[in-house]
Amino acid sequence: MNKLTVTETIIALETAALEAWHNGNPSPYLDLYSKDFTYFDPAHERRLDGWDKIKELYESMRGKVKMDKFEIINPIVQQNNTMAVLTYNLESYSGETLWKENCTEVYRLEENNEWKIIHSHWSFTKPSIV
């Protein structure tokens, strides 16, 4: 059995979390987040700091997110020994509705040799400028 590269590992972790998320289950993402996790999302005016804050938000959304399919477009992982930055565009479909977002995930290799997300930043691909 071949060992996955860091790029393959990071993309596989993200894909599995997105699959669950699009079916209303935030648990795989919560399992990936570090305790000192920070989060930017276009639905929130300010950054959320800490795992407890994101858990509270995600639990309020549990079972409410449902997308028919999604596509990770042009993922790139930039890395060194203990850090990896994943950037990609996400297209999510719910019926005829298409959501286009940009994503940046900063992963850190923890002492237990697991990759954890320490920062997540989401934005709309074509935001409306006010």
C-beta neighbour count of 52 within 10 angstroms: 11
Q: Which residue has the tokens 């989060």?
A: 39
Asked whether residue 77 is domain-assigned, the answer is yes
Q: Which domain holds residue 88?
A: 6-124
Asked whether residue 78 is domain-assigned, the answer is yes
pTM of the shown model: 0.89
Per-residue model confidence (pLDDT) at position 61: 83
Reference 58, options 20, 15, 25; nearest CA is 25
3-class DSSP state of 69: strand
Region 1-25: what's the mean pLDDT? 90
Asked whether residue 45 is domain-assigned, the answer is yes
pLDDT digits (tens, 9 = 90+) for 59-76: 988 888 888 999 999 999
pLDDT digits (tens, 9 = 90+) for 91-114: 999 988 999 999 999 999 999 999
Number of domains in the chain: 1
Report the CATH number at residue 100. 3.10.450.50
Choose between 126 and 128: higher pLDDT.
Answer: 126
